Structure 1
Amino acid sequence: MTRKKAKSNKKWAMYPSLHDEVSLLLEEDDLHLDFCKIDDAETCIREYDTNIMGRFICHNDKCGSNGWSSNMVAITIRMYPNDRYNARVYYQRCKGCNRLSKPLLNNTYAERIAYRIKKWYGIQLETPYYSEQSNGPHQSSLCEGCKDGHCSELKKTFV
């Protein structure tokens, strides 16, 4: 009897493996934080929703999608007591088959997190330029950040 692989209900991930990249950027301003592996909205002392860029690959062999890039990958950055932080990175769904996909991230992850942490620590920074270019409109029905109420694009529509 073969067993079916259990489906994960997870709609976001954290990337502790990218902490070293964030740390290097923080060290420029003599900040030293640890990555908090436990994501708990109740114990965080600050929270900020923003977006980064990433690439998604549909892993459904029956789907014809070659994957997609997104300039609107929703993330929630959280600060915790004792100089700890983490970031929840939300998945998106494939437009072709509706299957969840975890993003492959680029350097915008570390840059965006380091920028926010520096701002929280009162460091004066110029607002970086982030391209507004997109290959299409943000599709909230495919964005898990929107569904969880943590997508910065969703918040623009209610301002």
Structure 2
Amino acid sequence: MVVFNGPIACMPSPPLTLWTASLPTSPCPLLSPLPSVSPQSSSHCSSLAPSPTTTYPTLPIATPLSLPHLNYGSSVVIRPTPWNQSYGMEQVWLSEFHRLFSNYYQQVWILQPVEHKPIANRSMHTFVDSAKVRFCCDKCGHGWTSMKGRVVFWFDLLSPYYSNGFVAFKLYGQQCDRCKTDGYEQAMWYPEEVCKVLTNLYNKVGQLFYGFYQPPIEKTRRSGKPRTPHNSDLCQACKDGLCVDRK
């Protein structure tokens, strides 16, 4: 359970959830460098079976939170979205995120899926990663594999005293090439791919805020040979200009 050093405002759910949270104007002072994590150290995650009684850091959907601030005039506006992960995969995301980011004991880091890029008074850090994923059309049942499953993370430290870290992320979908409906199908992620991208994110955060030196970025994907080439016309990430090489 995440504990905030400030009030939690319970108000009627608006279309947008406003986080009044100060963003630092400069990188936080390094308290002590922490070791980076090798992607191989997360190889066990395919067998993750988190206890149903375990609570991981996350934000309740449609619960506006007022975070403590120091009147810096900065704010973050997010539109939370449900996890919508097949087979309880949200527990893999949360448990692996908690396992990694609990190493940053100076701060409490929060992971939250969002519908759109957060709106902030200053640019948040962005990290784009790729993975092999599966899709299944809800309408016709057609299934396919993609080696270009995209996830985008937006992250930063929140004030005061840089006591909280916030990670918003979006899993991008694809359209069915048979139905070609307006909506996008949700990607089904493999556990080892979840662990890979979260390890990469952990090392990227470590490089920016905790003194990591050239952290390893794992670029390999689960083996596979999709039957058809990537179709940018059906890719949500392509339409948002994010289906490019890892940043």
Fold agreement, TM-score > 0.5: yes
Post-superposition shift, 1:34?
1.0
Counterpart in the other structure of 1:20: 95
Taking the TM superposition and a 5 Å limit, the aligned residue runs for 1:1-150 are: 15=83, 17=91, 18-27=93-102, 30-31=103-104, 32-36=108-112, 40-43=117-120, 45-60=124-139, 63=140, 65=142, 67-82=143-158, 83-99=165-181, 100-107=184-191, 108-122=193-207, 123-124=212-213, 125-131=215-221, 134-135=225-226, 136-150=228-242
Q: Could you say if the C-alpha distance between residues 34 and 120 of structure 1 is closer, same or farther in structure 2, counting changes exceeding 3 Å? A: same
Post-superposition shift, 1:36?
3.6
Gaps of at least 5 residues in structure 2 are 1-80, 84-89, 159-164
Q: Could you say if the C-alpha distance between residues 23 and 98 of structure 1 is closer, same or farther in structure 2, counting changes exceeding 3 Å? A: same
Q: Check conservation: 2:113, 2:169, Cα contact below 8 A.
A: no
Q: TM-score when scaled to structure 1? A: 0.71
Counterpart in the other structure of 1:4: none
Paired with 2:244 and 2:170, the residues of 1 have a C-alpha distance of 13
Post-superposition shift, 1:58?
0.9
Q: Which amino acid aligns with 1:78?
A: W
Q: Which amino acid aligns with 2:200?
A: Y
Q: Which amino acid aligns with 1:41?
A: P
Report SS of the residue matched to 1:126. coil
Higher strand fraction (1 or 2): 1
Q: Check conservation: 1:33, 1:85, Cα contact below 8 A.
A: yes
Report SS of the residue matched to 1:24. helix
> Which string of whole-angstrom CA distances, capped at 9 and with x for unpartnered residues, describes residues 122-148 of structure 1?
234333240486424211011101011
Q: Percent identity?
A: 19
Report SS of the residue matched to 1:50. strand
Larger-gyration structure (1/2):
2
Q: Which amino acid aligns with 2:199?
A: A
CA RMSD for the aligned pairs?
Answer: 2.8
Counterpart in the other structure of 1:7: none
Post-superposition shift, 1:77?
0.9
Q: Check conservation: 1:14, 1:86, Cα contact below 8 A.
A: no
Q: Check conservation: 1:45, 1:81, Cα contact below 8 A.
A: no
Post-superposition shift, 1:20?
1.9
Q: Check conservation: 1:92, 1:142, Cα contact below 8 A.
A: yes
Q: Check conservation: 1:14, 1:88, Cα contact below 8 A.
A: no
Q: Could you say if the C-alpha distance between residues 87 and 14 of structure 1 is closer, same or farther in structure 2, counting changes exceeding 3 Å? A: farther
Segments of 4+ moved more than 3 angstroms: 13-17, 36-41, 131-134
Report SS of the residue matched to 2:119. coil
